[in-house]
Amino acid sequence: MSTAVLKSEWTKIRTVASTVWSLVSALVATVGISAALCWAIGATFDDLPQEQQATFDPTVMSFAGMTFGQLGMIVFGVLVVTSEYSSGMIRTSLAAVPRRGTLLLSKLAVATALALVVGLLTSFLSFFLGQAILGEHSIGIGEPNILRAVVGAGLYMALIALFSMGFATILRSAVLSLGILMPFFLMISNILSAFETTRKVSQWFPDQAGSKIMQTVPGTVETPYGPWTGLGIMVVWVLAAVLGGYLVLRKRDA
């Protein structure tokens, strides 16, 4: 990767308003919804069943809004790739950078770095605001595994964006990519994980496995892997999507 190509990709991303606003929406939705849910739980905590009180994870509660916030990351990842196809700029990009692997890697590197910065900012803001709202039910970041969960939440959001970029590179259509990814992450994955008969399959999905990194208190539903292994499973999904995107970009005409 050359510095000139990286600068070019940075310019493309920051000059497209929709990509910038998608990152802002990811941050605002995650922090805002998480804060609201922390307030609701804090106000009704004593009314919860004893089992739920015993397994309450204040860290995970700080990230409760990420289910919706990650949709902003999905939109960001998809638009980073497909905006060039919809505008026809992909032909100009390929003419300037004939090596398609270099072009794709540069795009993914810049966009993922930006998503990681926003993801970490989001996770730390969500955690500290959520714990402040939870009050006596909160936990400090210095407690065991808490920092891992907060940093992991930022990594999770960046990986969601990168997975979306790879997926969008395969399909090359914003409408088709968003039409598949958003229902899958928002509804299908969560619905399948809610039933015992389908949970054995859904626990290997990228979001279900990756979100394990945010858990610090053993829940009522156990998985055959731990936090870091779960994140590793998500990384495998991401690498598969990126590899698929590269193969499609290399074989197809712009």
Report how many domains make up the chain.
1
Taking only Cα atoms into account, the Rg of the chain, rounded to an integer number of angstroms, comes to 19
pLDDT value of residue 55: 80
Assign 3-class secondary structure to 40-91.
HHHHHHHHCCHHHHHCCCHHHHHCCCHHHHHHHHHHHHHHHHHHHHHHCHHH
What are the 10-residue block averages of pLDDT along the chain, 254 residues in total?
A: 82 86 95 95 84 85 93 96 82 79 91 97 97 91 94 97 96 94 93 88 94 84 88 97 94 70
pLDDT value of residue 239: 97
pLDDT value of residue 1: 63
Distance CA 247, CA 69 (A): 30
Burial (CB < 10 A; 0-12, 13-18, 19+), residue 165, is: buried
pLDDT value of residue 134: 92
pLDDT value of residue 254: 58
What is the torsional sign of CA 183, 159, 25, 208? positive
The per-residue pLDDT for range 161-194, each reduced to its tens digit, is 999 999 999 999 999 999 999 999 999 999 998 8
The amino acid present at 129, given as its one-letter code, is: L
Distance CA 50, CA 128 (A): 26
Q: Which stretch of DSSP H or E encloses residue 23?
A: helix 17-44
Place of tokens 């497209």: 16
User: Within a 10 A sphere around the Cβ of 58, how many other Cβ atoms?
Assistant: 21
Domain that holds residue 182: 3-251
Distance CA 245, CA 112 (A): 15
pLDDT value of residue 219: 66
Place of tokens 């979001």: 207
pLDDT value of residue 220: 58
